[in-house]
Structure 1
């Protein structure tokens, strides 16, 4: 369960990133989900934005240059492509959650309709609210129970959003897909 206000905040930030992007500068919008799990249901209480350290963190730079680009394509050599949460922000968010008795449940990030607006060489992978192979890799490695993808698409001059939540793939199955989770919204 996730609150409408949290989603409104995220979709507003995602829209601003989307509107400012260019084919050379893909949009980047990412936040950490804080909340609780009760009776097997994740309740997202808060969304906390984080800095993308993808281009500045030496470990991230090495991971993208080596493992990620070789597995998922040269597009990930672009330092604006992909997200790596700043370790300082993650620690700040973790501490903030602990003070409020909230856990980090996962993340929310934006997928643009890059197959329409990105550079021609990157239009082969159709992007939606479903996890890309790169998302699956990140969800598998983070093991957070809730990962929300917000897909933004411009059609006929109107911007629309589709949301879906995903769990990490089962640990015992190397090629298993990420399970889709039921996404419910609360009005309070």
Structure 2
């Protein structure tokens, strides 16, 4: 089981985008925030060096529309009929990120997405759904489908006038929807003394 090493700049880029999207969320629009993780793979570590953002093609890509209508909504509920819920990265942006990674000597390692404190800001009928940095049944399904080695969930909540986050990294099992928690370490900005 590899340890995930994430550069603080990569996490900061994602958190900046996530806080921006969070501030636009309403009970009717559970806006997602999603990015691809680019980095290097070693024998015992996966090093995330940058994130790459892409457009959400959930409502424009015929494959995405079909997946949601035929699989996601019947399996995970009518809440996923809301076009603002969940993410389907645009295939052109996925290809662009993959090429960018290759140019930089990096690999596409996986994804990161936000779970907001929906039990506080969502519609009253969904206040019982408490999200965290743990995967939902939908996350388990998506992680198994992509088979990326790293899937990071960033739980983001607002308390008073400050944002707080928690992170966890997951890897899909070889088959099925079981997930393995991966050790996740974030590089600090503090310099090591000489």
Please state which band the TM-score falls in when normalised by the shorter chain: over 0.9
SS at structure 1 position matched to 2:11: helix
Task: Report the equivalent of 2:180.
Answer: 179
Q: Distance in 2 between matches of 1:175 and 1:140?
A: 6
Uncovered stretches (5+) of structure 1, i.e. residues with no partner? none
Shift of 1:101: 1.9
Give the C-alpha shift of residue 48 in structure 1.
0.5
Matched, 1:67 2:94: no
Shift of 1:169: 2.8
1:32 correspondence with 2:36: yes
- Report the CA distance between 1:187 and its aligned residue: 3.6
Q: Is the 8 A contact 2:144 2:177 kept in 1?
A: no
CA–CA distance in 1 between the matches of 2:83 and 2:36? 21
Q: Does 1:117 align with 2:118?
A: no
For residue 82 of structure 1, the aligned residue among 86, 90, 93 is 86
Partner of 1:169: 173
Q: Distance in 2 between matches of 1:57 and 1:123?
A: 30
Gaps of at least 5 residues in structure 2 are 190-194
TM-score (normalizing by structure 1): 0.93
The answer to whether the 8 A contact 1:37-1:43 is kept is yes
Deviates more, 1:3-12 or 1:122-131: 122-131
2:109 to 78, 87, 105: 105
Number of aligned residue pairs: give it: 185
SS of 2:87's equivalent in the other structure is coil
Q: Which moved more, 1:130-139 or 1:35-44?
A: 35-44
In 1: Cα distance, 2:16 partner to 2:66 partner: 32
User: Residue 38 of structure 2 contacts residue 107 of structure 2 at CA under 8 Å; is this kept in 1?
Assistant: yes
| TM-score calculated relative to the size of structure 2 | 0.91
